[in-house]
Structure 1
Amino acid sequence: MDKTELIALVENNQAELIELCSSLLQIPSENPDGDTAAITTFISNYLSDNGIEPLHYEANPKLVNIVANIGEEEGPQLIYCGHSDTVPVGNREKWSFDPFLGASQGGFLLGRGASDMKTGLAGLLFTAVLLKRYQLPLKGGLTLAIVADEETGGEYGVPWLLARKLIAGDGCLIAEPSNALHPTIGQKGSCSFTLTVKGIPAHGSLAPLVGRSAIVDGMAAIEKIRQVTALKGVIPEELVGLLAQSNQYLHEENPQMAGIFEMVTCNIGTIKGGTGANVVADSCVIEIDCRVPFGIQRSEVMAFVASQLAQLGIDYTVTDLGFKSEANYTLPTDPVCRAVVDNIQVVSNQAAYGVLQWACSDARHFRQYGIPVLQYGPAELSTIHGFDERVKVENVVECAKVYLLAAMDFLNGDKEDCYD
């Protein structure tokens, strides 16, 4: 089959793809405080019913990962990765439809996970099934890594599998939501921490003459810490072109976010302190989330924070919070990036290119293990993690076409004769 015939193969089977999306959306898999057992069972049955053996790896009693392989053990190895968990639904009264409706209406698939990322996951599963069902020639192997834990930091998902050498490859595609023409090939680092400030309690009627308020000291600390946004780094030379292209994309899509790729961002997420209005607070706990650009290390951010706090003469401690990572990227010239971007252009007949991302995801784990990776998936970006989450059916089908073509190119060396 040539690429035109492969595209037709997806189109001729797209009813199966949409039905698969609907089924996944109808199965609750909220995380945290959820259980992904039902969706794991469904995915396993779908694969086994189509001749693909699913392997189960229980990272946690309620979180079971699926690994499945097709193709050859020799030759290039490609990983297609997706997560089956979603963020919680939240207040159902703010949804205009049942969050587990899973229906296709008005050209959209509706429900929690429609954009993040059950329809992208369905596209990966569907692609593997087409490769198996039609015995498409592969000079390498495709691994499906379906993880049950991503939305809460992913401890029991991708890093759990990688650490145990249960998955490996020469390239990886994660079906995380992205712009239809611009997969994400690099991400800023994460540097989150908890600042605990200690004060001296006293009767509130004596403040500020007696005692020392941890809350007041915490407020002073916040003002100092927020100056971290002025830190500047040196962009690696090999990233200059990608950064310029990413800024161009950002200017067109979100002009108010100009400069986000070059700056340290600082969000004061939570503040908890004191025991009552009539007591000078003896403790204030502040959670802070910084995202670190290319050219700056996490250690530099924390050194700056320490130097700023040292100026205040306050009693404090700093502890790590959440996951930590340095800024990371895959070069646009890498074969897995070329396979995806080239085929986005084939399917869409429009110019496509990879861009940087201001947040972070499971991609960082693959890069830590030396596996080039990018993210590309269907999405209505404005609805991710929000109420009335949805995605265009057309976008889901287009992504599935790219997944199939990219797998064929990457595993067969992009040789036309490998399609015959």
Structure 2
Amino acid sequence: MDTQPRDLLAFDPLDPVALTQALVRCPSVTPAEGGALGLIAELLAAEGFTVERPVFSAAGTPDVENLYARIGREGPVFVIAGHTDVVPVGDAGAWTRAPFGGTISDGMLHGRGACDMKGGLAAMIAAALRFRRENPDAPGSIAFLITGDEEGPAVNGTVKLLEWAHARGERFDHCLLGEPTNPATMSDMIKIGRRGSLTGRLTVHGKQGHVGYPHLAENPIRGMVRLLAALEATALDKGTAHFDPSNLEVTTLDVGNPATNVVPAQARAVFNIRFNDVWTPETLAAEIERRLREAAGNSVRYEIVFEPTNAVAFLTEPGPFVAMVADAVEAETGRRPALSTTGGTSDARFIKSYCPVVEYGVVGQTMHQVDERVAVADLLTLEAITHRLLTSYFAAAGAD
């Protein structure tokens, strides 16, 4: 049977399960704040954190509320980052539990954002509060960078929150981002980098005409096939020590032609490249343009447009901080996690410009799905891992 959420007006903020339930019950679908940031702000302020909630704006995008909190004024500064916004629930009738109910059944906590990433954020908040209560005089500072714009345009969120904090003199030493990194168990994976993302829109021009009179027409599909084949004929790279080879996928191919006896005037394709740290968006675009030019010669008329991107590849080199995170995971789970750079993009791509960042969170098998859920046991494990990491981190700081 389902267990209804406990009294959320009096839950223990050190309980990651109760805090996850409270956050899931906040309908914070991008860009709505939904009460989630307000709840976190209240909890952190009650524990002595200085809390600010800046709102950022940009033309053509919704205003987004964010949260920055810090306790302590000295270094080192350990940052916990995350987001409270979630994707839409889709067909609410397809859910077997209320999407914003936070109910527990068979050891799983259900609701939109349970694993991506309110559960991870709740566990890390609970761990930080427990650590501060136990170590009120610990050296250094703990800060939170939390946005409401990770699942949306990512324009008025973490990137601007970091700029805002930096302009105010805030400096960070290391960051843990609580995205759901584990494929199956809590001992599986730490993300130490992310691939970049570049989207191209390719148009090949022809001449419309009757298929029975091909000499009076110019079929752009032949040219499109030629160009796409050239893009995929040779691998972009062989990968690196920490990254798989860059990968190009054609995602759309269209001529908009409902007739079977008409040669179309244009053919259009969209492709996306997930690229490693061999490339920047600029060098990769230049390579794509070179391949197209060579393949087109003087016979294929085409245009290529690349969408603007802020998704660059980055790597946090394995070292003491990465080892400290892996040590904490191994100590609590009994198995050392792999160091990975797989998956999509995240806000770590912004944070990496300010301090080393690694990602670790709960199992992400149901993120963005109907009946999204997280194991209660995983929330407790993540809280323990984060608490152990904070203990090790600030013990090392005190020894320096």
Q: Which TM bucket (shorter chain)?
A: 0.7 to 0.9
| C-alpha distance in 1 between matches for 2:258 and 2:171 | 54
Question: Partner of 1:200 in structure 2?
Answer: 207
TM-score w.r.t. the length of structure 2 is 0.84
Matched letter for residue 338 of structure 1: A
Change (3 A) 1:207 1:395: farther
Matched letter for residue 45 of structure 1: E
Question: Partner of 1:267 in structure 2?
Answer: 249
For each residue in 1:211-247, what CA deviation from the matched residue of structure 2 results, as whole angstroms up to 9, or x when unmatched?
A: 334455334433332335x232473xxxx4xx4xxxx
Q: CA deviation at 1:394?
A: 0.7
| C-alpha distance in 2 between matches for 1:343 and 1:127 | 13
- Does the CA-based 8 Å contact 1:115-1:384 persist in structure 2? yes
Identical aligned residues as a percent: 26
Question: Does residue 169 of the first structure (1) align with residue 152 of the second (2)?
Answer: no
TM-score w.r.t. the length of structure 1 is 0.80
Q: CA deviation at 1:133?
A: 4.0
Question: Partner of 2:69 in structure 1?
Answer: 68
- Does the CA-based 8 Å contact 1:334-1:372 persist in structure 2? no
For each residue in 1:223-274, what CA deviation from the matched residue of structure 2 results, as whole angstroms up to 9, or x when unmatched?
A: 332335x232473xxxx4xx4xxxxxxxxxxxxxxxxx43221122234443
In the TM superposition, what are the counterparts of 1:169-318 in structure 2 within 5 Å?
Answer: 169-179=172-182, 180-181=186-187, 182-202=189-209, 204=210, 208-228=214-234, 230-233=235-238, 235=240, 240=241, 243=242, 261-274=243-256, 276-277=258-259, 280-310=263-293, 311-312=295-296, 313-318=299-304
Q: CA deviation at 1:402?
A: 1.4
Change (3 A) 1:24 1:216: farther
Q: How many residues align?
A: 375
Structure 2 gap ranges (5+):
1-11
Matched residue SS, 1:183:
strand
Question: Does residue 44 of the first structure (1) align with residue 41 of the second (2)?
Answer: yes
| C-alpha distance in 1 between matches for 2:174 and 2:223 | 48
Question: Partner of 1:378 in structure 2?
Answer: 362
For each residue in 1:164-191, what CA deviation from the matched residue of structure 2 results, as whole angstroms up to 9, or x when unmatched?
A: 3165311100000112222111222222
Question: Partner of 2:378 in structure 1?
Answer: 395
- Does the CA-based 8 Å contact 1:185-1:357 persist in structure 2? no
Superposed CA RMSD in Å reads 2.8
Question: Partner of 2:81 in structure 1?
Answer: 81
Matched residue SS, 1:54:
strand
Q: CA deviation at 1:132?
A: 4.1
Matched letter for residue 371 of structure 2: D
- Does the CA-based 8 Å contact 1:192-1:324 persist in structure 2? no
Change (3 A) 1:374 1:207: farther
| C-alpha distance in 1 between matches for 2:90 and 2:225 | 31
In the TM superposition, what are the counterparts of 1:11-160 in structure 2 within 5 Å?
Answer: 16-31=15-30, 34-60=31-57, 62-71=63-72, 73-160=73-160
- Higher mean displacement: 317-326 or 274-283: 274-283
| C-alpha distance in 1 between matches for 2:26 and 2:150 | 17
| C-alpha distance in 2 between matches for 1:289 and 1:303 | 15
Matched residue SS, 2:54:
strand
- Does the CA-based 8 Å contact 1:345-1:351 persist in structure 2? yes
Change (3 A) 1:55 1:207: farther
| C-alpha distance in 2 between matches for 1:227 and 1:91 | 41
